[in-house]
């Protein structure tokens, strides 16, 4: 799963790119939405992916950045129709 790789790279990289992670989350959410998955399942999946990534040597600042933005990104991507 590409989103898993993106999250793992983000939490382990010094000076991680928040915009790149945002783009990856958006792509993942839109893909899932277009397949008919409910937002609750998408959020649960992302929480699981992030939970798996933050174990070990994760950068706490990166984890805090994800937590600060994730729900807003998911809601925006799920409910905004691309034009």
Longest dimension (CA), the chain: 40
Give the CA count within 13 Å in the CB-facing half-sphere of 11. Answer: 20
Query: What was the pLDDT predicted at 35?
Result: 95
Domain-wise residue ranges, the chain: 2-79
Token pair 């893909």 in the structure block, residue:
31
Residue 83: the pLDDT is 44
Entry pTM: 0.81
CA dihedral 67, 17, 53, 34 (to 10 degrees): 80
CA pair distance 5, 49, nearest whole angstrom = 9
Q: Would you state the pLDDT for residue 78?
A: 96
What's the chain's length in residues? 83
pLDDT digits (tens, 9 = 90+) for 33-79: 999 999 999 999 998 888 887 776 667 777 787 888 999 999 999 99
């Amino acid at each position: 799963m590409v989103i898993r790789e993106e999250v793992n790279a983000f939490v382990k990289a010094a000076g991680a790119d928040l915009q790149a992670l945002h783009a990856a989350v958006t792509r993942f959410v839109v893909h899932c939405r277009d397949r008919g998955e409910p937002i609750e399942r998408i959020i649960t999946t992302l929480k699981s992916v992030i939970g798996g990534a933050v174990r070990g040597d994760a950068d706490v600042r990166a984890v805090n950045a994800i937590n600060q933005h994730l729900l807003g990104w998911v809601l925006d991507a799920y409910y905004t129709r691309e034009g």
